[in-house]
Amino acid sequence: MSEHYLDPLLRPARIALVGASERAGSPGATLADMVINSGFAGEIFPVNRRSREILGQTCYPTIESLPSTVEHVVIALGNAQLETALEASIDHGAKAATIYSSGVLDDDSEPKLIQRLAEMAQAAGIHVCGLNGMGFYNIGADLYAGIFPRSAEIIKGEISYIAQSGSAFTTLAHNGCRLGFNLCVSAGNEMTTTVADYMDWSLEQPDTRVIGLFLETIRNPQAFIAALEKANRKNIPVVVLKIGKSPLGAAMALTHTGAIAGNHAVFEALFKRYGVIEVDDFDEMASILMLLQSGREAADGGFAAAFESGGFRELVTDEAFEHGIEFARLEDSTIAELEKNLDPGLKPENPLDAWGSHERFEQRFEACMHALMQDPNVAAGAFISNYRDGYYLSEAIFRAVESVSKKTDKPIALATCYSDLANAEICRRAHAAGVPVIDGAHETLLAFRHLFDYHRFRYKPPRDRVKAALAAERIEDWRQRLSAFESDSLGESDALALMADFDLPVVKHRLISSQAELLSAADEIGYPLVLKTAEAGLDHKSDSNGVFVNIDSESDLRQYYADLCGRLGPKALVSQMLADGIEIGLGTLNDPQFGPIVMVAAGGILIELLSDRAVAMCPLDANEADELLTSLKVDKLLRGVRGKPPVNRQALIACIVKLSQIAWELRDGIDSIDINPVIANAQVALAVDALIIRKKE
């Protein structure tokens, strides 16, 4: 295996422990014990002026006094000593360092210590784990570079776990017996080395099967995307627990899109683009990591579940319906095999209640589970019971599933309906046998849903990049026009003009500022009409009673226009009133880190009332646009219900794709776009109202 640029940090041949100690209970003593007494094969050099020997290792007074050059210096010192220690490490020739302290000093001078340390490390090209972190464990190399006592045994395995929180680091690394790790990192504030760097190192390790991330922020967006792309190429799934999902601030909620997308929308779009598995808590994260660490991939098809309890079966069936998990439809041959092994009165079906009597129940469980897993329509399966150590029924099910696991390459698990179970020994043995034990019906089904979603992502058609281009001369023209606008926002007429210039279909309209122009526009467009104020500063016209719809006579048109002139001013937009259709809201947001995303939602007045929206990174292709629509509740209306015809879906998809291309090509000039609504019917999909917020320079 070729050398990686993070090897001096994560896999050094020689390491110095500055601040190592034998003082009981001190961080330096914990560090020394974990590095010296855990089987690390490299050379270890404790550094402490007060000691000559620490745990049988010769101790040196300073970094300068070391007998040979080390690659990695661990600095377990207080903030006041960090600058001197890092400088000495760089002068010594070290290529990496781990720093636990916060880097914050009372009455510090400018630039602050953190900045001084970062500039020093960056200038030297030294890789730093920290500041303000808990270090890292390279479990494969038996190197535990931390200052908090670890659990007695961290299982070696195939998970690389990287956390931007020390507590999140210890939550998985210091507990349980069902997850196996090759790397655990507490990244701290990532002074020079980011999550993306640790991911890249992990992706080069032959024993990495899955990466787990606890994320607060992403400090190097392009490197993070590059790591996700590498993970896709290597078929290594990435599981993320992302915190900080608060709503966008008022400054970013100038459009409906900003108001309902939420602060997390960009990450949703990013994760969707690269097949990242996003979870909401540690239990959900651990559950899917258990399934993925085996390296077994879900097949095509649905879920299979066996039970020794009819009540548990009903509970899980209800949960599966809520999570949208489909049980596999069994082949006739599978049903016949089940029937042959079930007690009389039990129905051969999926999900399966396999408990009848005590007679040969273990053999029957094994035969039934094997039949389910052999069915070509089954993608993965589980035997669900409440396992406890020493209980004959639990032991029998474990043996049956362990045996079936050896005969199939599909994911298979033991799962429970409750979490507070006395089953540590079964969990330990199951992990050694490569069989996950997942606690809770909810967590189990979420884990399998993630597994199936990742399988679908892997085998979805490649994105169509050929069509993601607009006319270059129009792009340049609008870049210049956007920069020339004095207002932060484009009025509806200008916004619709931009859409139309790029062939996104818009409603017929005319901008007017007098009664003569009003009547001329009415003659040109034809009744019925919509009349809206177009005065500057009124981005949301309905809030100012500035919209009149379904105007079917000249007298009404004159009356409504007179009202607008008296209250808001003479500038107005006249547009055609479309036939009935489904209202869809489209919008884009331009993230400073990851660029524009597109949002699709139920439109009109429902856009802020229903939590029915989907997001994707720009630009997207027709398949991705169709997926967005399919994920919405309003999609049932789009497909036609109660005798109403379906809308022109391809026209609506074309609008979404075109909008994503516009947002991408004009990302230097546009902060957000709001089209609410696009009206889709059986014939057309037309943008009716639009608002564009310019990107501030």
> CA angle 563-566-570, nearest 5°?
90
Q: pLDDT at residue 520 above 80?
A: yes
CA–CA distance from 459 to each of 74, 302, 456, 541, 583 (Å)?
Answer: 44, 16, 5, 45, 32
pLDDT band at 644 (very low <50, low <70, confident <90, very high): confident
Q: pLDDT at residue 117 above 80?
A: yes
pLDDT in tens, 240-291: 999 887 554 333 344 444 444 457 889 999 999 999 999 999 999 999 999 9
| Per-residue model confidence (pLDDT) at position 580 | 83
Question: What average pLDDT does the segment 138-156 reach?
Answer: 93
Of 5-14, 111-120, 242-251, the poorest mean pLDDT is in: 242-251
| Per-residue model confidence (pLDDT) at position 254 | 43
Q: What is the pTM of this model?
A: 0.92
pLDDT band at 465 (very low <50, low <70, confident <90, very high): low
Which residue did the predictor score with more confidence, 25 or 257? 25
Dist CA 584 CA 578 (whole Å): 14
Dist CA 156 CA 76 (whole Å): 26
Dist CA 55 CA 37 (whole Å): 8
Number of neighbouring beta carbons within 10 Å of residue 649: 16
pLDDT band at 469 (very low <50, low <70, confident <90, very high): low
DSSP label at residue 227: H
Percent of the chain with pLDDT over 90: 85
Q: pLDDT at residue 331 above 90?
A: yes
CB–CB of 507/576 below 8 Å? yes
Coil, helix or strand for 157? strand
pLDDT in tens, 42-98: 999 999 999 999 999 999 999 999 999 999 999 999 999 999 999 999 999 999 999
Dist CA 377 CA 330 (whole Å): 7
Q: Which domains does the chain have, with CATH numbers?
A: 1-134 (3.40.50.720), 151-295 (3.40.50.261), 300-458 (3.40.50.261), 463-507+580-697 (3.30.470.20), 509-577 (3.30.1490.20)
Question: What average pLDDT does the segment 358-371 reach?
Answer: 95
Q: pLDDT at residue 609 above 80?
A: no
